[in-house]
Amino acid sequence: MQWYRDGAVVGGAGNILGSVNPDVPRYDADNPGERMTGISGSGNFALKAVASENTKKLAQSQAKLVITGNHAQRGGGIGANGAADMGEEDQDHTLCVKKEWSENTPEDQKTELTVFLKIGEYELDAVKLNQENNWMAEFTQLPNPDSLEGGLQYAVVENPVPDHFQPVYQEAVVNDNTISVTITNQYEEPKGNLTVSKVVAGNAGDIEAEFTFTVTLEDSSINGTYGEMEFENGVSVFTLKHGESKTAENLPAGIGYEVQEAEANADGYETEAENSQGSIPEKETAAVTFTNTKEVTGNLTVSKIVAGNAGDMETEFTFTLTLEDSSINGTYGEMEFENGVSVFTLKHGESKTAENLPAGIGYEVQEAEANADGYETEAENSQGSIPEKETASVIFTNTKEEAPEKGTGNLIVSKLVTGDAKAEKQEFTFTVTLDDKTVNGKYGEMEFEDGVSVFTLKHGESKQAENLKPGMKYTVKESDNEGYKVTAAKNEGSIEEGKTVNVIFHNEKEDESGTPGKTYTPSSGSSSGTGTQAKSSSQKGSSPKTGDTTNLSLWITLLCLSGFGLTSAALLAKKKR
C-alpha cells in the first residue's frame, strides 16, 4: 500500500468535517507527487491510498471485515462514534534489504536492481538498490508478521535477475521489529560451446579414415573435461571420421579459439575449413566444419574422321555426350555441360576434350548424322567409363565413297593426333605391306614397289589405295611415334571386293602442361584436315592428282638461275683453254 496527498481540508473542528480546499490539487495518477511514509503533528489530512492488484488480493485474503459500496459526498471511509485506531502502536516492522556481489563480479556488471516485498505468492511493494543508496533499502510500516493469517511470512525477491548472475538469499536476521535480509549475486561467467565436424567428399574420399584435430584456446588455464573434449593447458586433441563431430560445452564466452587438422591438404585431399578461427559465442555454439574432398578425374576426347572418295570434309556433324551423373554442369575443358549433357559439332580432323570429369562415371556419345546421307558410320569406344587420370578416346568415322571398280577394293589410312598442339606439323611415317609382291606402281594415292608403299601423314590427313585385288592381305605400320600412345584400328586385314577398308591410327600425347588428352583442333586453312590439302585427291571437292603447283614461280626462277650458272661455268672453261 502506498499513500499520497489528495488535496486538502479546510474548516471543521472536533467531530465536524471540514470542506475541500479548492486551491489544493487532488491526486493525479500520472503525477502522484512524493510518496508519504509518515504523518507528524495533528490536523486534517486528505490522503490517497494506492494499492496494487496483489495488495488488494492479499488484503481480501487476510481481512476479517470487508466493506463494499461505501460512498459519501466528500469521499468514503470508515466512521466511528469515537476514535478509530488503525494498527497497533509500536508494532510496525521494518524489512531491510541489502545487496552484495561475489568477488569475481566485474564492476561494469554491478547495475541497479529491483527487489519486491513478497507475502505468500503475492509480490507487493518494490525498492531500488543501487550504488547511490549503498545497495540498501527498507520496507517500512509493515504489520507484525505474527498477525498474518495462514502462516504467511515476509520475503523478498529480486526481479528481474541480471544476466550472468545467480541470486543467493541469506537467512533473515530478526532484531526486535527489524528484519534484515542479504541477497548475494553470484557472478557466473557467460558460457558458450564449440562443435568441430568432419565431412569427407569426392569420388575417392575415404569415409573410414580418421583425421586428427587440435583445438587451441587463447586461455591456457582451461583444463579438464568440457563436454566431449578434454583440455590440457587450453589444448584438446582428438580424431574424427566422416560424419562425426565433437562439442566442447560451457567454455568461457568471448575467448578466442583456433582449430587445425593435421591431414589438411594431404594425400590428394583438398581441405576447406569453415569458421576454424573465432571467439566462443555467448549462450550459443560456434560450428567449425572441415571438408576434405578427394576427386579422381579423367578426360574424354571425341574425334571426327571423314573418309572415302565422296566424303565431304567441310560438313559439320552433331554430337551428344551424355554422362550418367546429371549433376555435372558448367565448362569442362572444351565442352559445356548442362545436367550432364554436352552437345557440339565437329568437322573432319577436329576433336573436343572434356577435362577433369569424375573418374568412373559412365558416358555415351551419339552422332546425330550417323549412317545418314550415304555415309557409313563406325563408332569406336562410344560407350564406357571415364578412366582414372587418363583420357577415353572416342572416334567416329564416317565413310562415303563411290563404289570401287568391279572386282576391286580400296584401302584408306587416316591419321588422328590428340594431346599436343605442336602435332599439327609433325609427320608420321606409314608402311603398307601387301602379301602380293607383284603389286607395283601407283594405286590411287599410294605408290607401291614389290607390294610395299611408304608415305607420311600429319594430323587429319589420309591416303587411299584404289582398285586393289580382293583377298589380298595387308598390314599397316606406323613409325616416328616415340612418346605417343598409339591406338590402331583395322591395321591388319584383307581387301574386300566392292568395299573400302578404313585404317585409323590415333596418337595421343600429353601437352606441355602435362594434361593428358587435351585435344588439338586444327586451325582454318592448315594441312591438318580442314583445308583442301588434307583431302584425298579423289574426294569430293578435291583437286586433280597432278602434284603441288603452289610454288610454280619459285621453281621457274630456280631453273633460270641454274641455267645462268651452267652458262657462266662454260664460258670460264673456254677462257682457261
Number of CB atoms found within 10 A of residue 522's CB: 24
Residue range 447-474: mean pLDDT, rounded = 94
pLDDT band at 421 (very low <50, low <70, confident <90, very high): low
Q: Long-range contacts made by residues 321-330, C-beta under 8 angstroms, separation at least 24?
A: 321/354, 321/363, 321/364, 321/365, 322/363, 322/364, 322/365, 322/366, 323/357, 323/361, 323/362, 323/363, 324/361, 324/362, 324/363, 325/358, 325/361, 328/357, 328/358
| Cα–Cα distance for residue pair 418/94, rounded to 1 Å | 101
Which of 572 and 501 is assigned the larger pLDDT?
501
Please, are residues 208 and 241 in contact by the beta-carbon 8 Å criterion?
A: yes
- CA atoms of 118 and 108, how far apart (whole Å): 29
Q: Which of 423, 359, 408 is nearest to 203 (CA)?
A: 359
Residue 471 Rama label (left phi>0; alpha psi -120 to 50; beta): left
Q: How confident is the model at residue 248 (pLDDT cuts 50, 70, 90)?
A: very high
Pairing of strands 297-307, 391-399: parallel
- In this prediction the pTM is 0.52
Q: Which three cell numbers stand for residue 320?
A: 551428344
Mean pLDDT of the chain: 83
Instruction: Give residue 557's pLDDT.
Output: 39
The H or E element spanning position 325 is none
Pick 552 or 145 by higher pLDDT: 145
CA distance 470 to 12: 150
Is the pLDDT at 244 greater than 90? The verdict is yes
Q: What pLDDT band is residue 545 in, cutting at 50, 70 and 90?
A: very low
pLDDT in tens, 360-381: 999 999 999 999 999 999 999 9
The pLDDT, as a whole number, for residue 17 is 65
N- to C-terminal Cα distance for the chain?
A: 155
Which bin fits 59, alpha (ψ -120 to 50), beta or left (φ > 0)?
A: alpha
Q: What is the pLDDT of residues 480-493, one digit of tens each?
A: 888 888 989 899 99
Integer Cα distance of 191 and 236 in angstroms: 18
- Residue 560 — very low, low, confident or very high, per pLDDT cuts 50/70/90? very low
Q: Residue 14 has what pLDDT? A: 59
What pLDDT, on the 0 to 100 scale, is given for residue 50?
Answer: 87
More confident of the two residues 58 and 50: 50
Helix (H) or strand (E) holding 342: strand 341-346
Of the two residues 38 and 225, the one the predictor is more confident about is 225
Q: Is the pLDDT of residue 229 over 80?
A: yes
Cell of 85: 485506531
- Structural contact between residues 529 and 349, judged by C-beta atoms closer than 8 angstroms: yes
439 Ramachandran zone, left/alpha/beta (phi>0; psi -120 to 50): beta
Of 145 and 306, the structure prediction assigns the larger pLDDT to: 306
Question: Identity (one letter) of the amino acid at 211?
Answer: F
3-class DSSP assignment, residue 110: coil
Q: 89-137, pLDDT tens digit by residue?
A: 677 899 999 999 999 999 999 999 999 999 888 888 899 999 999 999 9
In sequence order, the β-bridge partners of residue 458 are none
Note whether 346 and 319 are within 8 A (CB): yes
Domains 93-187 and 191-293 alike in fold: yes
pLDDT of residue 279: 98
- Please identify, in words, the CATH class of the domain defined by 93-187: mainly beta
Question: Looking at residue 38, what is its pLDDT?
Answer: 73
Measured in degrees and rounded to the nearest 5, phi and psi for residue 109 equal -95, -5
Q: Break the chain into its structural domains and give their ranges.
A: 2-50, 93-187, 191-293, 297-534
What DSSP character marks residue 257?
E
Confidence at residue 510, expressed as pLDDT on a 0 to 100 scale: 60
Q: Is the pLDDT of residue 419 over 90?
A: no
CATH level 3 topology of 297-534? Immunoglobulin-like (2.60.40)
Least confident of 84-98, 132-146, 199-213: 84-98
pLDDT, residue 522, reads 32
Question: Looking at residue 7, what is its pLDDT?
Answer: 84
Question: Which CATH superfamily is 191-293 part of?
Answer: Collagen-binding surface protein Cna, B-type domain (2.60.40.1140)
The tens digit of pLDDT for each residue in 339-357 reads 999 999 999 989 999 999 9
Read off the pLDDT band of 527 (50, 70, 90): very low
Q: How far is CA 34 from CA 2, 5, 8, 27, in A?
A: 10, 8, 15, 11
Beta carbons within 8 Å of 348's beta carbon, 6+ residues apart: 304, 305, 306, 311, 313, 314, 315, 460, 529, 530, 534
Share of the chain above pLDDT 70, in %: 82
For 349-379, give the secondary structure using H, E and C. CCEEEEEEEECCCEEEEEECCCCCCCCEEEE
Cβ neighbours of residue 527 closer than 8 Å, sequence gap 6 or more: 458, 460, 461, 533, 534
